[in-house]
Structure 1
Amino acid sequence: MAAVSEKPAPWPSSAIDAASHGAIAFCQIYYEAFDEPTRRSLEIPLFFLPTAKIVWNGNVVKPDAASLTAFLDAFPLSRHDLQTLDCHPLKPLDPAAGGAPELVLTVTGSVLNGPSVMKSGDAPPVEVSEHPRKFREVFVLKPTESAEGMQPKYLIQSSNFRFIG
């Protein structure tokens, strides 16, 4: 007779709430830094673990600071508009270990790239190539440090960005 494995305990609502609040804060900080050209290549590499797996539209990006900075410097101006985000713990917490869980975060939205980012007004004229594009980005976030009673600090273990539609 096969051994019956125990079902992991469901996540308490407090863990789901913490993951959701952390995901919102992460996205706000990450995409604000990405959309600010003076901050992008300085701050975005700090979000990634040195061993991170990064895929952008099917292209592997090396996670070392020099390669990632060169990749980011090649981007045009951008403005991300997030439409949905979903975050949940990836692995069950081991209460004995007392650590924060890894998180999987899925983001969808649109991104405008190019000079039209700087245009203002209700309907500025733009080229078809400058219309916003839909995207989906999936992150795996790994906790790296946590002070007692404080929100853990997360870094990106995996990022997969893809234009959709």
Structure 2
Amino acid sequence: MAARDKQLAPPAKKQQVHRPNKIDRPEVDYVNRAAEGFLQIYYECMDGPQRDANIAELYRDTSVLIWNGETVNGAQQIKEFYAKMPQSKHEIQSWDCHPVPGTNPTAILVTVSGIVLHGEMPPKMPQTKKHGVLHRIFSQSFVLTPEPKPMIQPGAEAGQEADRYFIRADTMRFVG
């Protein structure tokens, strides 16, 4: 038994596990407010009568949309893609957001789940697929990136305006 014990390797030292940096509460609150405001604007644009014109303002030439597996690149192509879609009505069931670690200024990851209707809209959200409306459960994720701020001229006073975000990446999938 003693010979066997000598052949065993010594026990490995425990390695210190590095925990992620704690995110300051003010940053979490800021990201939460920014995401909530974005979602209100986004879904109002998506469900509005001028969807293709309004929604394009939230994307840039570098933006990517993946809609149920179909990839669309750039604001103009995204605008054209949405122009072909029937009228919609989104009902958000839940959403969450997080600052993206390592980004400065802070990018935001937003996840959404809810119900969407496509087609001629009834007065209220129906419980069945009547009225020629397609009732679907969706999951959508966004990466929001702050717009680059203009350079401040030397001697000019910096303003206190909030960051303006655009959609860097948008993935939407029907899940039910």
TM-score by length of 1: 0.81
- Say if 2:63 is the partner of 1:63: no
Are residues 126 and 149 of structure 1, via their aligned partners in 2, closer, same or farther at CA, if it must alter by over 3 Å? Answer: same
Equivalent residue of 2:116, what SS? Answer: strand
- Say if 2:140 is the partner of 1:137: yes
Equivalent residue, structure 1, for 2:57: 46
The structural deviation recorded for 1:50 is: 1.0
TM-score by length of 2: 0.76
Equivalent residue, structure 2, for 1:96: none
- Say if 2:94 is the partner of 1:84: yes
The structural deviation recorded for 1:129 is: 6.0
- Once superposed, what is the RMSD of the aligned Cα atoms? 2.6
Answer yes or no: is the 8 Å Cα contact 2:64–2:169 preserved in 1: yes
Q: Give the alignment of 1:1-165 within 5 angstroms.
A: 9-38=21-50, 40-65=51-76, 67-92=77-102, 99-115=104-120, 117=121, 119-120=122-123, 127=130, 130-145=133-148, 148-165=159-176
Deviations 1:79-129 (A, max 9, x none): 000111111101246xxxxx53011000111101101x1x22696985386
Equivalent residue, structure 1, for 2:152: none
Counterpart AA for 1:111 = V
Are residues 123 and 114 of structure 1, via their aligned partners in 2, closer, same or farther at CA, if it must alter by over 3 Å? Answer: closer
Which ranges of structure 2 fall in alignment gaps of 5 or more residues?
Answer: 1-15, 150-157
Counterpart AA for 2:141 = V
The structural deviation recorded for 1:19 is: 0.6
| Greater gyration radius | 2
Counterpart AA for 1:100 = P
